[in-house]
Amino acid sequence: PVTRGGMAATLGTLSVIHEAQGEPSRAEACARRALTITEGMARAGDLDARPRLRVALNNLAMACQSAGKAEEAGLHYRKALD
């Protein structure tokens, strides 16, 4: 069975792939979905969510940076470090 953590990880990987292929809008969409799933895991008390949350935020920051959204990227990078 597919777990929420597995789904978030797969979406994060797809985000990185789309970014590498020069598809920033697809990268951003996947990264946002991964972050939404991971945030839900954290709210539900999933112990695996905290490190996954940092990865999801970092992936979204990279996607935003690739899309020319430097200010938003900075916010996500900083949040990943909190």
Going 68 to 19 to 40 to 80, the CA torsion angle's sign is negative
Q: What are the backbone angles phi and psi of residue 68, rounded to the nearest 5°?
A: 80, 20
- Return the axis-axis angle of helices 24-43 and 49-66, rounded to nearest 10°: 160
The pLDDT profile of the chain, 82 residues, written as one tens digit per residue, is 788 999 999 999 999 999 999 999 999 999 999 999 999 999 999 988 889 999 999 999 999 999 999 999 999 999 999 8
Q: What is the value of pTM for the model shown? A: 0.92
